[in-house]
């Protein structure tokens, strides 16, 4: 190229240099999180499902207090529980055998699940009435607490009513209980739903809320997953903002991490190892692959990456047992996965 206007050419050259530098940095960062070691083998036939009860769309999983059994909250063998008599809350032992199930005819569209420090099961039903199907009326936009035997112990939210008040939810995606019994709810699933975190006492009394729709620190766009580290810091998977935000338990912002992709599922083990399932980067987060990223909840360093073997963008749930075995659950793929370290 021949330059006759030195000022113009300097600007063009500068743009090329900056553009090339930014893209090389982007490629380097993406390479660091996409090309980590993958020391795990996949087993997708571990769970023993009966022919008349296949697993449905499953957005989350949770670990039982025994350290090896897995709880799931699937959408009744399909992508909805509307009109189904199937019990969506299921517990599988370490061999993949069904131990118990409950919750039939209670939910519209299951989403989050959590096991608290007393072994109680918490779930979120994030879809409410649609004005078309009357079977959805009076259900959804709620959080439920069950005993491990299936006894309903507590309900938060108004059945079938979406709202932004202290006793209302609009598409609650996730729930977590702190060691002292305080309850945290990630309320919102994009669109015109809420974008906040709510805190309740152990008896369900509202304490506070924080957030709001946006991308600034402390704002959310799909608070899709919650986890807590050994220091008591609350991790929020702010999925559509492609980041993890970290808060103290009073909602004070501490940090944000962008190196784990778009967090759909998230869990922190007893060694403060962070596992994040990224199910939606392809097409939305350029340069990033989907799968499970593993790293330090203390430093944020990513140390391993398990690429989604199907690449279908549906592996949302993740949990790890006391032996380091990782489990993943799929929404669109309607399957459960087991990853064992090589």
What does pLDDT average to over the chain?
90
Q: How confident is the model over 29-45, as a mean pLDDT?
A: 72
CB contact at 8 A, 327 and 339:
yes
Output the pLDDT for position 127.
97
- What are the helix (H) ranges across 159-258? none
Q: And the tokens for 142?
A: 């709620």
Q: How confident is the model over 31-50, as a mean pLDDT?
A: 80
Output the pLDDT for position 12.
37
Closest CA to 227 of 218, 219, 217, 236: 236
Euclidean distance between CA atoms 103 and 86, whole angstroms: 8
Q: And the tokens for 43?
A: 């087993």
b (16+ CB within 10 A) / e for 234-263:
bbbbbbbbbbbbbbeeebeeeebbebbbbb
Q: If residue 82 lies in a helix (H) or strand (E), which one and from where to where?
A: none
Q: φ and ψ at 24, to 5 degrees?
A: -70, -40
Output the pLDDT for position 20.
34
Confidence of residue 9 (pLDDT cuts 50, 70, 90): very low
Q: φ and ψ at 149, to 5 degrees?
A: -90, -5
Angle at 91 between CA 271 and CA 70, to 5 degrees: 20
For the chain, the domains span: 1-35, 40-341
- Residue 317 CB contacts under 8 Å (≥ 6 apart), including other chains: 58, 59, 60, 61, 72, 264, 265, 277, 327, 328, 329, 330
Q: What is the pLDDT of residues 90-130, one digit of tens each?
A: 999 999 999 999 999 999 999 999 999 999 999 999 999 99
Output the pLDDT for position 108.
98
Q: Which CATH class is domain 40-341?
A: mainly beta
- Count of Cβ atoms closer than 10 Å to residue 227 Cβ: 24
Residue 26 has pLDDT above 50, yes or no: no
Confidence of residue 6 (pLDDT cuts 50, 70, 90): very low
Output the pLDDT for position 11.
39
Output the pLDDT for position 4.
46
Q: How confident is the model over 295-322, as a mean pLDDT?
A: 92
Q: If residue 183 lies in a helix (H) or strand (E), which one and from where to where?
A: strand 183-187
Using a cut of 0.85, tell me whether the model's pTM lies above it.
yes
Q: What is the pLDDT of residues 254-270, one digit of tens each?
A: 999 999 999 999 999 99
Residue 5 has pLDDT above 90, yes or no: no
Q: What is the pLDDT of residues 54-91, one digit of tens each?
A: 999 999 999 999 999 999 999 999 999 999 999 999 99
């Amino acid at each position: 190229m021949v330059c006759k206007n030195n000022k113009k050419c300097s600007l063009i050259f500068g743009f090329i240099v900056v553009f090339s530098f930014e893209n090389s940095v982007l490629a380097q960062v993406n390479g660091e999180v996409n090309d980590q070691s993958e020391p795990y083998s996949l087993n997708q036939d571990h769970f023993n499902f009966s022919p008349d009860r296949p697993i449905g769309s499953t957005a989350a999983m949770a670990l039982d207090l025994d350290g090896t059994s897995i709880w799931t909250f699937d959408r009744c063998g399909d992508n909805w529980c509307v009109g189904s008599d199937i019990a969506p809350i299921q517990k599988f032992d370490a061999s993949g055998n069904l131990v118990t199930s409950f919750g039939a005819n209670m939910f519209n569209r299951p989403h989050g699940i959590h096991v608290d420090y007393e072994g109680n099961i918490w779930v979120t039903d994030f879809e409410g009435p649609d004005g078309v199907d009357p079977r959805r009326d009076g259900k959804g936009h709620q959080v439920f607490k069950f005993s491990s035997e299936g006894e309903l112990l507590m309900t938060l939210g108004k059945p079938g009513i979406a709202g932004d008040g202290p006793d209302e939810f609009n598409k609650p995606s996730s729930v977590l209980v702190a060691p002292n019994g305080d309850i945290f709810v990630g309320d919102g699933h994009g669109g015109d739903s809420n974008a906040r975190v709510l805190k309740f006492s152990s008896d369900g009394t509202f304490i506070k809320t924080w957030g709001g729709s946006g991308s600034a620190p402390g704002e959310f766009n799909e608070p899709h997953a919650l986890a807590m580290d050994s220091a008591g810091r609350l991790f929020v998977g702010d999925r559509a903002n492609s980041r993890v935000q970290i808060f103290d338990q009073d909602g004070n912002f501490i940090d944000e991490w962008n190196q784990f992709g778009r967090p759909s599922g998230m869990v922190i083990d007893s060694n403060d190892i962070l596992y994040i399932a990224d199910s939606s980067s392809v097409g939305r987060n350029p340069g990033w692959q989907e799968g499970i990223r593993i790293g330090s909840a203390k430093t944020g360093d990513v140390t391993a990456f398990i690429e989604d073997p199907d690449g279908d963008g549906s592996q949302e749930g993740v949990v790890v047992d006391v032996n380091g075995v990782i489990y993943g659950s799929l929404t669109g793929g309607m399957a459960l996965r087991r990853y064992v370290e090589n």
